[in-house]
Amino acid sequence: MIIDIKTGGAERWHELQTAAYAGMDLFDVDFDEGAHRYSVDGVVLPSVTQVITRFVPQHGDQAAMQRGTAVHAACHLLIKGILDWATVDPRMMRWLTSFAEWLERTGFDLEQSEQRGANPLHGYAGTLDLRGIVPGALPSLMRGALYLQENGSIARFKAHNGRDDFKVFVGMLNFFKWEQGG
């Protein structure tokens, strides 16, 4: 199961994002954190975020992205069992409580967290939030978004199973590349 962690409300473009992540072969890619640039064998690849931001401008809201980055980092530490709760920014505590409650109730079995990957055939890259197994989950729940709750209540999972989601993302990717002169 591929899961993208969210700190905001459900948006339709989230389905395209998880479809793009599902299409990646997960392997180490080079990543320049300052430039937020992925490359494989020296070839720079557009990120899932760059492509979606081109078509969904609100996806690029800086405050939401900064909050999401901080919460993702803390969730990664939590799921790895190395989060020091004493160091958590109080503004992030409820989001993390929401995630911790979901982990406990579902018995989520982590395979990968914050894993960079790429799709060499289509030429894009990104960072997958979570890949794992929820015991007893239906096979149709292969990907989706986990909406952390600002009030600290258990996170809500929304399955993404649109058959055309990946095709739509690839269309956006191709247009993005065309605009860039590729």
The share of the chain scoring above pLDDT 70, in percent, equals: 96
Task: For 105-157, write each residue's pLDDT tens digit.
Answer: 999 999 999 999 999 999 999 999 999 998 887 765 689 999 999 999 999 99
Residue 80, phi-psi category: left (phi > 0), alpha (psi -120 to 50), beta (remainder)? alpha
pTM attached to this predicted model: 0.91
CA distance 138 to 30: 34
Contact call for residues 117 and 128 (beta carbons, < 8 A): yes
Residues 6+ apart with CB under 8 A from 5: 68, 71, 72, 75, 99, 129, 130, 145, 146, 148
pLDDT for the residue numbered 119: 96
Mean pLDDT across 6-23: 93
pLDDT for the residue numbered 123: 96
Task: For 37-49, write each residue's pLDDT tens digit.
Answer: 999 999 999 999 9
Give me the residue spans of the domains in the chain: 2-179
pLDDT for the residue numbered 30: 95
Task: For 50-75, write each residue's pLDDT tens digit.
Answer: 999 899 876 556 777 788 888 989 99
Q: Residue 25 to residues 28, 29, 69, 130, 147: CA-CA distances in angstroms?
A: 10, 10, 23, 14, 25
